[in-house]
Structure 1
Amino acid sequence: MKAFFLKYYKTIAIGALMLAGLSLLVYPLVANTWNNHVQSTIVKDYEATVEAAIQEGTLDVQAELDKATVYNEELLPSILPDSFAEAEANGVDSNYMSILNANDDGVMGYIQIPSINVKLPIFHTTNDDVLQIGVGHLEGSSLPIGGPNTHSVLSAHRGLPSATLFTDLDKVEVGEDFFIIIMDEYYAYEVDRIDVVEPDDTSLLAVQPGKDLCTLITCTPYGVNTQRLMVTGHRVEYTPTLLADAKTPTFGAVSLHTNYLLWVIVGLAIVGAFILLLYLYDRKRTKKEQA
């Protein structure tokens, strides 16, 4: 055994390093697959709970929407935090947490962005524990139920190795639609502007008189995160065909960062090539030793 190890220790060491490297490549795929399952389960549980509560008469959708409307009407422009850090530092309002909280778990609905294959739960607040698993609603902005004089702000992480979230938000283009589902109500928004701003710049998030807006926010540039990417849409009429016919992802709409399977295939190809080279090298060396 010792002789075998001494003879092949380089091969064993290189093989171990390659397996370690392959594990690092596989981790994002496994972690992201698991988190996609978790996020999908949260959305399905939300839909099932809402549907059951409506049928049982324990959830009055219109009453919940009316509460959210009152909340939005009572918001003042000055309430919107001057920065996202300030929003996270502020205490959570119990009244805010009680509105649109059908499951009593902080989930107020979910968002679909067909062009980048996103379907994520929306939670109250933008606390970090929320942003690890889904989209957070920025407290102080309008609750996402639409209506004139509203501007909802939804935020999610970008570039987490364990979850896609808003990593591909930079692939969304003007003219594309995204959808917000609150209880059994669907709200459609058409992207009309895309901006990159400094982290403390919230000037574009103010309510605009008469308009119904929603802005999606994430960090940018990828991996640097020194600025904020804002994708803003205005409300359009929702129809089931609008969602069914929405643009779906193409290869170019999925960044290399989130094409985890491609990275695994490349990693396997590299490992396979190294193993083949090592085999040929050892075979050649063995022949020389036997000559």
Structure 2
Amino acid sequence: MSSLKIVSLGFLFLGVFFLMQIILPFISFQIWETGIKYQNQLISPTTSRSSNVLGVTITNSDNFSYFVSSAQRKNPPNYVEFKLTIPKLKLNKKEVLVDSNDLTRGLAHLPGTALPGEKGNVFISGHSAINFFKDIKDAPFAKLQDLKKGDKILVEAGGSEFVYEVIELKVVKPSDLSVINPPDTVGRYISLMTCVPPGLNFKRLVVLGKMV
């Protein structure tokens, strides 16, 4: 076999390999999403949440849409970030910027939403990516869809630790603001949101946890 044919075959296999890195996660996500929808039909749905969120708009940048909040907190906390740990995903003490709309720096806590331990919904957004192309440090929520009901979410803030338990996973449109609101007015919740399929911008996965 000539060297030219060997090089051509090498490029062909490399092209197929990269293509599969994109296609397989997409197919896997479609199967996973179907399973999540079926599971949610088998359980009692959480209380319907209002889609009206004061001060929150949807901003588009480079074909990527995300939530932006203009809410101002009357009593800011004495910390500018808190730590997020998800044992199931081996995510350990990842910094979350408080009251931030800047997703370029990592995980961002949506301004105006509850602080850890408070009643309401601690709303956190972060990027996902196809694992082959990005390290988990650059896309901390790349494996968020691996979570299941009952998995723990740990938060360290202001010298205290709070434990949440996953109670629901759902896939929504990027324009669905209702996921920002808590399911009720008395519980203490946390929501983790990222793009799905991983690395693409079609839909949003929201993992809802409740403090235990």
Q: What's the TM-score once normalised by structure 2's chain length?
A: 0.64
Aligned to 1:232: 208
Shift of 1:205: 2.2
Select the residue among 107, 121, 127 that pairs with 1:151.
121
**Partner deviation per Cα, 1:203-238 (whole Å, 9 max, x = no partner):** 1321321110000101112344211111001101xx
Contact map agreement 2:82 2:158 (CA 8 A) in 1: yes
Shift of 1:183: 3.7
**Partner deviation per Cα, 1:253-272 (whole Å, 9 max, x = no partner):** xxxxxxxxxxxxxxxxxxxx
Describe the shift of the 1:194–1:154 C-alpha distance in structure 2 as closer, same or farther (beyond 3 A).
Answer: same
**Partner deviation per Cα, 1:181-205 (whole Å, 9 max, x = no partner):** 1142111001111111111112132
Aligned to 2:151: 176
Aligned to 2:174: 199
Contact map agreement 1:81 1:140 (CA 8 A) in 2: no
Shift of 1:80: 5.1
Describe the shift of the 1:15–1:78 C-alpha distance in structure 2 as closer, same or farther (beyond 3 A).
Answer: closer
- Partner amino acid, structure 2, of 1:115: K
Aligned to 1:10: 4
Aligned to 1:122: 96
Unaligned 5+ runs, structure 2: 19-51, 60-64
**Partner deviation per Cα, 1:31-83 (whole Å, 9 max, x = no partner):** xxxxxxxxxxxxxxxxxxxxxxxxxxxxxxxxxxxxxxxxxxxxxx7435154
- Partner amino acid, structure 1, of 2:211: R
Aligned to 2:194: 218
Distance 1:96 1:15 in 2: 63
Tell which structure's C-alpha radius of gyration is larger.
1
Shift of 1:87: 3.6
The SS at the match of 2:56 is coil
**Partner deviation per Cα, 1:137-191 (whole Å, 9 max, x = no partner):** 1112112x2133x211011111152232111111100111110111421110011
Contact map agreement 2:172 2:204 (CA 8 A) in 1: yes
Q: Give the % identical residues.
A: 20
Q: Which has the higher helix share?
A: 1
Distance 1:91 1:232 in 2: 23
Distance 1:218 1:86 in 2: 10
Distance 2:191 2:177 in 1: 11
Q: What's the TM-score once normalised by structure 1's chain length?
A: 0.48
- Partner amino acid, structure 2, of 1:178: I
Q: Give the paired residue count.
A: 166
Contact map agreement 2:58 2:67 (CA 8 A) in 1: yes
The SS at the match of 2:142 is coil
The RMSD of aligned alpha carbons is 3.5
Contact map agreement 1:195 1:229 (CA 8 A) in 2: yes
- Partner amino acid, structure 1, of 2:193: I
- Partner amino acid, structure 2, of 1:122: V
